[in-house]
Structure 1
Amino acid sequence: MKSLRNTALGLTLGIAGASFALADGHAKELTIAIVNNGHMINMQKVAEAYTEETGVKLNWVSLEEGVLREQVTSDTATGGGQYDIINIGMQEAPIWGAAGWIEPLNFGADYDVDDMLPAMRNGLSHEGTLYAAPFYGESSMVMYRKDLTDAAGVNIADNDSWDNVKAAAAAIHDPDNGVYGACLRGKPGWGDNMAFITTVVNSFGGAWFDADFKPTLDSDEWKAAINFYVDLLGNYGPPGSEGNSFNEILALYNEGKCGMWIDATIAASFLTVDGVAYAQSPNAGNPVGANWLWAWAMAVPAGSPNAAESQAFIEWATSKDYIKAVGNHPDFGWGKVPTGTRASTYAIPEFQAAAPFAAAEMAAIESAAPEATDIKPYVGVQFAAIPEFPEVGSAVAQEMAAALSGAKSVDEALEAAQAAADAIMSEAGYY
């Protein structure tokens, strides 16, 4: 798709308000596009009570991450009207809000927008206006099997060096017994493999673009980072890693096949194996940008005929009461509440008791650095907050997957990635 600059286009749930109804007396229906991650899937069950109390029927469209981004972007950009509520993130929300693609969100005083973590609120706003409400927020961290590292006599420290982390992965790697030293994202997509890869590049001192927004994928920093990534995952990762992203690795981890996983902090809510320990993300000398910042959020496409009902649902689904509803739900409990959005969540005693990862998650979120720096001229950690980035990131993602699979050498993949990114940015008029 063309860039924006080139495109012409009462219970424990705390549900408030009366039922929304159509003129003929039938309940209003909302179609919601969500990513097929655990917290979003759980919401479908919790929200059954919302329908019972308000009469609003909820139609869920659950999609894999990359597919969701493509479909939601296309539908929203063209005003297709397929969805009343959409899952988007920090890359899209400020840009789409500024372009008028999504509606500003205005909630009541009880919602307590000031309870929202500043990193999440700022990342989903444009010029102080909130355009998407965070359903859950995350940074990234190391999740490792301490029983395996202890048995191997190795340690993983907070903000460890990549060399030490690689040595730990080698020590616990035991493929004959079905355990791989490191499970990392390899599936191509700007929010899939490139989310993790970009943090590695950042930690080596690299960036997506220079001060003139020319791509820098042919730099020494990118070459060092990608060679390290391919070597680490190629030697100590599971076969077929070029097809693995969040959900695939979560399944592998819970099957006991991963000794270490560096990924979204939110994954800790869904780990079922014993003995997991947590550490802040490693780096190769530059800790700034070594851990990402993201939120899966909910927004209303501009011009939606059901905007009022949609905003009411989002207000409920991202509220303190929703978090309590999940914590008290017989199918879920406090260890499964959406995290990374509200300060008040981390003060709930039941959550603290059920979430041994909470302190590490909060530390990662608070240390994430999306602001522009001397190294990078753009906002964003694992992405660049410019309209062209999804196209650039997707093109580069394919090349990095080719390098990981062995279809191309690292040098060949980076050369092709640089050419693709340069063509996109040049056509967009940056230089």
Structure 2
Amino acid sequence: MRSVNRASKLTIAMSVGVAAALGLSACGGAGGSSASGGDDEVNVLMVNNPQMVDLQKLTADSFTKDTGIKVNYTVLPENDVRAKISQEFSSQAGQYDVASLSNYEVPSYAANGWLSPLDDTVAASSDFDQSDILEPMTKALTGADGKLYAEPFYGESSFLMYRTDVFEKAGVTMPDNPTWQEVADLAAQVDGVEDGMKGICLRGQPGWGQIFAPLTTVVNTFGGTWFDENWDAEVDSPEFTEAVDFYVKLVQDHGESGAPQAGFTECLNNLQQGKVAMWYDATSAAGSLEADDSPVKGKIGYAAAPVVDTASSGWLYTWAWGIQKAGKNQDAAAKFVEWASSKEYEELVAEKIGWSSVPAGKRASTYDNPDYQAAAAPFYQQTEDAITSADPDNPGVQPRPAPGIQFVAVPEFADMATQVSQDVSAAIAGKQTVEEALSTGQGLAEKVSEKYQK
């Protein structure tokens, strides 16, 4: 656990950091709705992911019908919604009562007093059953003061996906808990087993949430870190360099065509279309791979995130509901959050749409449900294991100054890591060396270090 001193210093540093970061990120998105004067409405600002679109369709005939509370949704693409939420919450404008936040934003928003704690509202409801929320999710959405500031809508970790039929054809076996060296060896053996098929797909597209989502987990398990516990930058350390060099060479030798531009969507398409035999990425991809219209349905195996020096290495991510402290409809907002993250809502989705569309990854009871187990049989256990083994406070081999597995939960990380990612992507393309990329990255990280060490 952090000492009180350390938590206080981190809170102060994060407060300063968010204010500085907003100058870069707070460009307004399109759309919006006026806040209501009464507590019979709630204004929700959220990302346009499929699970949120389902929520929008189901609200009127369930939540509003039962409570009399009207929900006004503003739905935007991820980059746009992050910018609009940043602007809205930093100014405490009060136009929106609830927003979809990730576990990246919640710690800094909580530190700045922009969120209403949920301990005495949503979490206190016996119907909600906070104890059913998977512990890593609760921890990831808890502030440095020990209070809960958001409830998960759905969550994910990461694991390794592979074509079982291709592995059988090549005469090789995937371990349940592979090491990265085993994965590299397997990638070489299945590369070319079928015409036009490469061994593995790994993100190479620039962006802190693109290439550095999987790559930072590789860095962690190789023994590296962005910062040590004293905020000293470690981007050009031997461990960080070894991890990035391994990743880059694996992609260059056995990775997908067009790797420097490949992100989540491109890798998903590559695996579905038979262009790669393996893919390391988000557990949420399994639903698409096992969908009725997927050409690889029933042909995919799922193994734990590969490791080197750590017991596990899967990331932890959630889209969660946070209530703006300046929101005018606090009671209605709490009732909405309680409903949207509830067992009741998951059962509603199962009934109206199907178990495969349930926003999972957050409740133990979901993974105990026989109906969900049947619908998600190929991957549900591996997903639950990945999420429950994730530890945002201790993702590597050394103490960290801030939580986070595939990111560092401070506002400066997004801009810094995005700049470093551009150079690493260029290294994959052969335009510069890994050492050159990380030397530049070290300079960027040192600027962040100086700020927090003060």
TM-score between the two structures when normalised by the length of structure 2: 0.83
Q: 1:118 aligns with which of 135, 140, 144?
A: 135
2:221 is matched with: 203
2:359 is matched with: 338
1:77 is matched with: 90
Output aligned runs, 1:32-181, within 5 Å: 32-34=45-47, 36-50=48-62, 53=65, 54=68, 56-64=70-78, 66-81=79-94, 83-105=96-118, 106-107=121-122, 108-126=125-143, 127-174=145-192, 177-181=195-199
Distance 2:319 2:38 in 1: 35
Residue 389, structure 1, aligned to residue 400, structure 2: no
Distance 1:241 1:84 in 2: 40
1:248 is matched with: 266
Q: Identity over the aligned pairs, expressed in percent?
A: 37
Q: Which amino acid aligns with 1:49?
A: D
Distance 2:87 2:433 in 1: 33
Residue 287, structure 1, aligned to residue 310, structure 2: yes
Q: Which amino acid aligns with 2:106?
A: A
SS state at 1:143 partner: strand
Residue 364, structure 1, aligned to residue 386, structure 2: yes
* Residue 381 to residue 22, structure 1, CA distance change in 2 (3 Å): closer
Post-superposition offset of 1:80 = 4.5
Distance 1:293 1:387 in 2: 17
Post-superposition offset of 1:23 = 6.9
Residue 408, structure 1, aligned to residue 435, structure 2: no
Post-superposition offset of 1:420 = 1.0
* Residue 24 to residue 46, structure 1, CA distance change in 2 (3 Å): closer
Output aligned runs, 1:165-314, within 5 Å: 165-174=183-192, 177-271=195-289, 272=294, 273-274=296-297, 275-283=299-307, 285-288=308-311, 290-314=313-337
Note if contact 1:120-1:134 (Cα within 8 Å) is conserved in structure 2: yes
SS state at 1:154 partner: coil
Q: Which amino acid aligns with 1:143?
A: M
Note if contact 1:202-1:289 (Cα within 8 Å) is conserved in structure 2: no
Post-superposition offset of 1:131 = 0.8
Distance 1:382 1:300 in 2: 25
Post-superposition offset of 1:229 = 0.9
Distance 2:140 2:83 in 1: 21
Q: Which amino acid aligns with 1:371?
A: D
2:32 is matched with: none
SS state at 2:453 partner: coil
Post-superposition offset of 1:75 = 3.1
Post-superposition offset of 1:230 = 1.0
Distance 1:371 1:46 in 2: 36
Distance 2:416 2:372 in 1: 39
Note if contact 1:4-1:387 (Cα within 8 Å) is conserved in structure 2: no
* Residue 41 to residue 149, structure 1, CA distance change in 2 (3 Å): farther
Once the two structures are overlaid, the 10-residue window that deviates more, 400-409 or 414-423, is 400-409
Distance 2:441 2:288 in 1: 34
Q: How many residues are matched?
A: 412
Q: Which amino acid aligns with 2:16?
A: R
Note if contact 2:202-2:251 (Cα within 8 Å) is conserved in structure 1: yes
Q: Which amino acid aligns with 1:86?
A: A
1:5 is matched with: 16
SS state at 2:45 partner: strand
Post-superposition offset of 1:93 = 1.3
SS state at 2:72 partner: strand
SS state at 2:325 partner: coil
Post-superposition offset of 1:364 = 1.1
Q: Which amino acid aligns with 1:354?
A: A
Q: Which amino acid aligns with 2:58?
A: V
* Superposition RMSD in Å: 2.7
* Residue 24 to residue 386, structure 1, CA distance change in 2 (3 Å): closer
